[in-house]
């Protein structure tokens, strides 16, 4: 799998990319139907990863490949870039080199021994059995009159094991689920035994469970030395799984490198023409992007909001409200709680109690004063026990109260009848909203509060 | 069971079926001849080695002179079949039956390839205008009384190939031939040629009957010459297609996928299209436009053996041969001879509709 780098200097100075099959694009421009789609794309994917690793983990064993996410708005040229990488499209100018080979100069067969492509799964109409479809991945390794070899069989078995589709082997492809089909197509690509794997929106039509399983699988493969390049729509999934990101907009690379560098608020504004808050995800620690509704696109909201949460349930609310421009307070929260971290990051006035300690009287009165000072109080979809019940009792005193509900209260009530009674009181004069409605409802209530 | 075993099993089974169909068909007609007699006549007609004599000798470098076997050809059974029956079967019925088998074989082969190639269940051998092209050539020859090399068949074959090529060129731009464009160009050219044929029909006068007969698809008047001609032409293109069954499977996944799996898509498409067109043109040149064989037979066989072309192609070809022998037997055994194209369509269309209604017909 070791690619030969034409640029030996870079290989020598960078111990990690020496084992990487280099994927280098040099000033690549591509037109489709007379229209220029990509303009002057230059990127060295091996280098992206090493810089990412130096900042992320400071090293890694030399066998790791790179998982590169291709992000950008619809029509930015992500798919075109992938199709250029696998040789389906020939650029007007510039070269694409994989492991030192110009992918557009070699035969289609040779190219598909270097680069395997996992297509989108949208249209599958033929009813080949799964195993037969995976076997087709061996096409580039067989000449027309070759029989089926031991090596072919091994590659297919291995690919099916790796993707856990052995149990589906004899089922027709038309009769398995979308998530399973995605894995079968990945198996087919693995059977090609290429150093580079391309994936076009591998998570597009999958539910969240299969999205995660698919990306975990790709991540595993990268651990074995494969270089993967995937167009991914979901910025947060991309940020979480990819070693490096390439942000494409209007046919150019806007930014490439470490996810934290690429996913800056200004880059996202330029690429997507939308406002977004970039923060750290409270649970995973990855870069986390929250898009804001365009009505609140400028952070000019005024007012004070107190947020009651815990266990990560309030992180989103804190980010969204902070980005919209509200002055925030939060609590009471246990030290070390993910919401406490989130509150600190957005600069909220935070009331805390020690880890695992219940909300005591001092903390309760601190919360009461915050609630009184706030124009609006927000209670997140938090789990309620005897320990944090005082927070809810304090919130009940708010003039304007918003309750974010994702689950019924009964599912997150551990405070028995007391909990029910308090929450019932909150519901009596609070506004119950879905997470997505939070910002607009808070905005309205804040206006009313000013009117008072 | 692996693919090769399955393909061989199907091929052997369908070959046996074809042999049976041929024997039964040769017995049917104005004079009924029992299958046993037919079988004896057929065996008699096939040259078989009847003895080996060691008369010759070859000189091998190490061994010196060695007697070499020479094979004497003769009839296995020189026997007691009535001479009239023999003449009826060998000179009258057999050429027609064999030609039907060859034409059915060719049309079903081209049908499989076109359906796979276009990934469209309605594709048939003449989808890019081969049949219309052949018809124009044949009708023009009849109506205008042209004299062309290789006669009517030569004219039909030539104009069929030219039409296919024109359609291909019309649909090609910048070295790429999108399948959808090809399909539409085929439809447009077929419509245009249909107008030409209608015009020629108006001018046909005396020869109208002959023209209509040709157009409807026919196997009567088949000659041994035609059988030999088709037998000489078919094997090579069929072998080429057989060698590309794996590529056809991969092409089913779509051209983008096929490319990603190392298929030279445009080159393979050219080759498949050219070869399938030659196969179709060969059949149409000798038999006129016989519809539905190339459309229905691949669908029926796909239902049984699945989408894998390594099995589908040979199985459909052999089944197509049997199918056309059977339908042509029906066409000629009624009170008055009916063009075989009428029978294939009359049987094929309802059957196809039945498959369609039971949702058994799948895209290739």
Interface test with A, best of B243, B260, B364 (most A CBs within 10 A): B260
Most confident option among A71-75, A290-294, B62-66: A71-75
**How many domains does chain B fold into?**
1
CA angle B181, B185, B186 (to 5 degrees): 115
Domain match, A251 and A393 both: no
Domains: count for chain A: 2
The answer to whether A184 contacts chain B (CB < 8 Å) is: no
The reply to whether B147 falls in a domain is: yes
Q: Which of A56-65, A363-372, B178-187, B324-333 has the lowest mean pLDDT?
A: A56-65
Would B59 be classed as within a structural domain?
Answer: no
| Any domain includes B307 | yes
Say yes or no: A58 and A206 in one domain: yes
**Domain containing residue A227:** 8-271
Q: What is the pLDDT of residue A63?
A: 60
The Cα A375–Cα B257 span in angstroms is: 58
Percent with pLDDT over 90 in chain A: 27
Same domain (yes/no): A200, A167: yes
Dihedral sign from CA coordinates of B103, B108, B113, B119: positive
Supply the CATH number for residue A396's domain: 3.40.50.720
A259 has a pLDDT exceeding 80? yes
Do you know the residue count of chain A? Answer: 452
Q: Is A282 a member of any domain?
A: no
- A127 lies within 8 A of chain B by CB: yes
Hey, are the CB atoms on B259 and A88 less than 8 Å from each other?
Answer: yes
**Where residue B243 sits, what CATH number does that domain have?**
1.10.3470.10
Boundary-marking domain end, from A236, A271, A306: A271
Q: Looking at residue A33, what is its pLDDT?
A: 79
Of B259, B263, B307, the CB nearest to A126: B307
The nearest CA of chain A is from the CA of B116 a distance in Å of 10
Say if the Cβ atoms of B260 and A139 lie within 8 Å.
no
User: Are A218 and A295 part of one and the same domain?
Assistant: no
State how far residue B112 is from chain A, nearest Cα, in angstroms. 14
Give the gap in angstroms from C-alpha A119 to the nearest C-alpha of chain B: 7
Contact residues on chain B for A125, CB-CB shorter than 8 A: 119, 362-363
Specify the pLDDT at position B280. Answer: 93
Q: Which residue has the higher pLDDT, B80 or A69?
A: A69
Residues of chain A with C-beta less than 8 angstroms from the C-beta of B309:
none
**CATH code of the domain in which A143 resides:** 3.40.50.300
Q: Which residues of A touch B256 (CB under 8 A)?
A: 83, 88, 119
What pLDDT is attached to residue B71?
54
Poorest-pLDDT segment among A223-232, A332-341, A443-452, B253-262: A443-452
Looking at residue A344, its pLDDT comes to 85
The confidence score (pLDDT) of residue A296 equals 47
My answer on whether A61 and A195 are in the same domain is yes
Is there a single domain that holds both residue A225 and residue A295?
Answer: no
Among residues A205, A238, A271, the one where a domain terminates is A271
What value does the mean pLDDT take over residues A383-387?
88
pLDDT tens string A100-118: 889 999 998 999 999 999 9
Whether the CB of A83 is below 8 Å from some CB of chain B: the reply is yes
One-letter-per-residue 3-state SS of chain A: CCCCCCCHHHHHHCCCHHHCCCEEEEEEEEEECCEEEEEEEEEEHHHHHHHHHHHHCCCCCCCCCCEEEEECCCCCCHHHHHHHHCCCCCCCEEEEEECCEECCCCCHHHHHHHEEEECCCCCCCCCCEHHHHHHHHHHHHCCCCCCCCHHHHHHHHHHHHHCCCHHHCCCEHHHCCHHHHHHHHHHHHHHCCCCEEEEECCCCCCCHHHHHHHHHHHHHHHHCCCEEEEECCCHHHHHHHCCEEEEEECCEEEEEECHHHHCCHHHHHHHHCCCEEEEECCCCCCEEEEECCHHHCCCCCCCEEEEECCCCCCHHHHHHHHHHCCEEEEEEEECCCHHHHHHHHCCCEEEEECCCCCCCHHHHHHHHHHHHHCCEEEECCCCECCCCHHHHHHHCCCCCEEEECCCCHHHHECCHHHHHHHHHHHHHHEEEECHHHHHHHHHHHHHHHHHC
pLDDT band at A299 (very low <50, low <70, confident <90, very high): low
Q: For residues A341 and A215, state if they share a domain.
A: no
Does A33 reach chain B within 8 Å, measured CB to CB?
Answer: no
A111 interaction partners in chain B (CB closer than 8 Å) = 262
Are A228 and A333 found together in one domain? Answer: no
Distance, CA of B139 to CA of B146 (rounded, Å): 10
C-beta atoms surrounding A426 within 10 Å: 21
| Residues of chain B falling short of pLDDT 50 | 55-60, 62-63
* Residue B201 belongs to a domain: yes
- pLDDT on residue A60: 44
Q: Which of B249, B256, B363 sits opposite A125 (nearest CB)?
A: B363
Chain B residue nearest residue A197, CA to CA: B260
Question: Based on the domain organization, do A39 and A187 belong to the same domain?
Answer: yes
Chain A, chain B: beta-carbon pairs less than 8 Å apart = 70
In sequence order, which ranges of chain B are alpha helices (DSSP H)? 3-27, 35-45, 83-87, 94-118, 130-144, 151-171, 179-202, 208-216, 224-233, 235-243, 245-252, 255-260, 265-287, 293-305, 309-333, 340-357
* A280 located within any domain: no
Inside any domain, residue A58: yes
| Residue from B241, B355, B344, B239 nearest B302 by CA | B355
The CA distances from residue A174 to A122, A123, A177, A180, A389, in Å, are 11, 10, 8, 11, 52
DSSP letter at B94 equals H
Q: For chain B, what percent of residues have pLDDT higher than 90?
A: 46
Question: Which residue from A minimizes the CA distance to B262?
Answer: A109
Domain residue limits at B317? 3-11+22-46+75-357
Confirm or reject contact between A169 and chain B (CB < 8 A): no
Pick from A34-48, A127-141, A377-391, B74-88: least confident? B74-88
Which pLDDT score, from 0 to 100, does residue A114 have? 92
Residues A44 and A140 in one domain: yes
Decide if A279 is inside a domain. no
For A294, half-sphere exposure in the C-beta direction (CA atoms, 13 angstrom radius) is 4
Angstrom distance (rounded) from CA B53 to CA B217: 49
**CB spacing of A108 vs B263 below 8 angstroms:** yes
According to the model, what pLDDT value does residue B52 have?
Answer: 53
Q: Which residue of A has its CA nearest to B249?
A: A136
CB proximity A360 to B under 8 Å: no
Q: Using one digit for the tens of pLDDT, what is the confidence trace for A119-164?
A: 886 566 678 899 999 999 999 998 887 788 899 999 999 999 999 9
Residues A119 and A172 reside in one and the same domain: yes
- My answer on whether A373 and A250 are in the same domain is no
In a domain, A1, yes or no: no
Task: Give the closest-approach CA distance of A127 to chain B in angstroms.
Answer: 7
- pLDDT at residue number B240: 96
ipTM: 0.80
Which residues in chain A have their CB less than 8 angstroms from residue B243's CB? 144-145
d(CA A373, CA A304): 7
The chain A residue lying nearest B3, using CA atoms, is A132
Contact B92/B41 with Cβ under 8 angstroms?
no
Q: Does A92 touch chain B (CB under 8 A)?
A: no
pLDDT of residue A17: 40
| pLDDT tens track for A171-205 | 988 888 888 888 999 999 999 999 999 999 888 87
B115 closest CA partner among B327, B260, B319, B307: B307
Establish if A194 belongs to a structural domain: yes
The whole-number pLDDT of residue B271 equals 94
Answer whether residue A52 shows pLDDT above 50.
no
Give A186's contacts in chain B (Cβ within 8 Å). Answer: none
A chain contacts of residue B246, beta-carbon cutoff 8 Å: 139, 144
């Amino acid at each position: 799998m070791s690619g030969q780098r034409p640029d030996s200097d870079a290989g020598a100075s960078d111990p990690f990319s020496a084992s990487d099959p280099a994927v280098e694009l040099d000033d690549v421009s591509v037109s489709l139907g007379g229209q220029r789609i990509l303009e002057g794309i230059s990127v060295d994917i091996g280098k992206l990863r090493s810089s990412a690793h130096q900042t992320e983990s400071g090293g890694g064993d030399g066998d790791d490949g790179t998982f590169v996410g291709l992000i950008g708005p619809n029509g930015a040229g992500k798919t075109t870039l992938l199709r250029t990488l696998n040789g389906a499209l020939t650029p007007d100018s510039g070269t694409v080199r994989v492991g030192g080979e110009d992918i557009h100069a070699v035969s289609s067969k040779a190219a598909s021994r270097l680069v395997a492509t996992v297509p989108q799964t949208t249209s599958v109409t033929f009813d080949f059995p799964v195993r037969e479809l995976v076997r087709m991945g061996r096409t580039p390794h067989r000449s027309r009159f070759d029989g089926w070899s031991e090596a072919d069989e091994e590659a297919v078995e291995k690919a099916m094991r790796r993707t856990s589709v052995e149990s589906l082997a004899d089922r027709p492809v038309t009769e398995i689920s979308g998530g399973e089909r995605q894995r079968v197509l990945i198996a087919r690509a693995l059977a090609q035994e290429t150093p580079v794997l391309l994936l076009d929106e591998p998570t597009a039509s999958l539910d969240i469970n299969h999205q995660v399983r698919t990306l975990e699988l790709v991540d595993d493969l990268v651990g074995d030395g494969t270089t993967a390049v995937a167009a991914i729509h979901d910025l947060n999934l991309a940020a979480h799984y990819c070693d490096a990101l390439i942000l494409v907009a209007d046919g150019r690379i806007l930014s490439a490198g470490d996810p934290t560098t690429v996913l800056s608020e200004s880059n996202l504004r330029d690429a997507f023409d939308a406002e977004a808050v970039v923060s750290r995800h409270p649970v995973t620690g990855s870069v986390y992007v929250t898009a804001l509704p365009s009505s609140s696109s400028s952070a000019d909201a005024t007012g004070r909001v107190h947020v009651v949460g815990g266990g990560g349930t309030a992180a989103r609310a804190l980010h969204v409200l902070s980005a919209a421009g509200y002055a925030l307070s939060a609590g009471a929260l246990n030290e070390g709680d993910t919401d406490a971290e989130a509150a600190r990051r957005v600069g909220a006035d935070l009331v805390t109690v020690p880890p695992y300690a219940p909300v005591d009287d001092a903390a309760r009165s601190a919360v009461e004063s915050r609630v009184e000072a706030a124009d609006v109080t927000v209670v997140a979809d938090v789990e309620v026990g005897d320990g944090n019940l005082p927070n809810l009792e304090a919130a009940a005193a708010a003039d304007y109260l918003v309750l974010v509900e994702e689950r019924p209260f009964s599912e997150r009530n551990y405070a028995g009848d007391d909990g029910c009674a308090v929450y019932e009181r909150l519901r009596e004069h609070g506004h119950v909203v879905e997470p997505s409605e939070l910002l607009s409802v808070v905005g309205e209530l804040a206006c009313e509060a000013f009117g008072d | 069971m692996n693919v090769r075993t399955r393909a061989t099993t199907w091929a052997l089974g369908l070959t046996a079926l074809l042999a049976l169909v041929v024997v039964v068909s040769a017995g049917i007609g104005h004079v009924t001849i029992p299958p046993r007699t037919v079988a004896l006549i057929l065996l008699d007609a096939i040259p078989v080695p009847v003895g080996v004599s060691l008369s010759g000798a070859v000189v091998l470098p190490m061994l010196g002179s060695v007697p070499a076997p020479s094979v004497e050809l003769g009839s296995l059974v020189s026997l007691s079949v009535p001479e009239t029956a023999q003449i009826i079967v060998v000179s009258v019925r057999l050429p027609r039956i064999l030609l039907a088998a060859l034409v059915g074989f060719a049309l079903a082969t081209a049908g499989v390839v076109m359906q796979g190639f276009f990934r469209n269940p309605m594709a048939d051998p003449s989808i890019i205008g081969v049949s219309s092209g052949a018809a124009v050539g044949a009708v023009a020859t009849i109506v205008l009384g042209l004299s062309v090399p290789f006669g009517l068949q030569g004219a039909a074959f030539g104009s069929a190939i030219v039409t296919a090529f024109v359609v291909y060129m019309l649909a090609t731009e910048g070295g790429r031939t999108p399948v959808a464009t090809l399909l539409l160009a085929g439809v447009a050219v077929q419509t245009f040629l249909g107008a030409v044929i209608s015009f020629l029909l108006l001018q046909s006068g005396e020869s109208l009957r002959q023209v209509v007969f040709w157009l409807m698809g026919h196997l009567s008047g088949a000659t041994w010459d035609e059988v030999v001609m088709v037998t000489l032409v078919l094997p090579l293109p069929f072998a080429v297609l057989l060698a590309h069954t794996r590529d056809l499977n991969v092409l089913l996944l779509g051209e983008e996928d096929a490319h990603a799996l190392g298929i030279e898509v445009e080159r393979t498409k050219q080759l498949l299209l050219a070869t399938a067109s030659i196969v179709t043109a060969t059949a149409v040149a000798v038999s006129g436009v016989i519809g539905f064989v190339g459309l229905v037979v691949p669908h029926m066989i796909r239902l049984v053996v699945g989408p894998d072309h390594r099995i589908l192609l040979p199985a459909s070809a052999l089944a197509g041969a049997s199918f056309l022998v059977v339908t042509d037997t029906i066409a000629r055994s009624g009170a008055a001879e009916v063009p075989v194209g009428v029978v294939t369509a009359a049987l094929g269309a309802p059957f196809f509709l039945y498959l369609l209604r039971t949702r058994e017909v799948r895209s290739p």
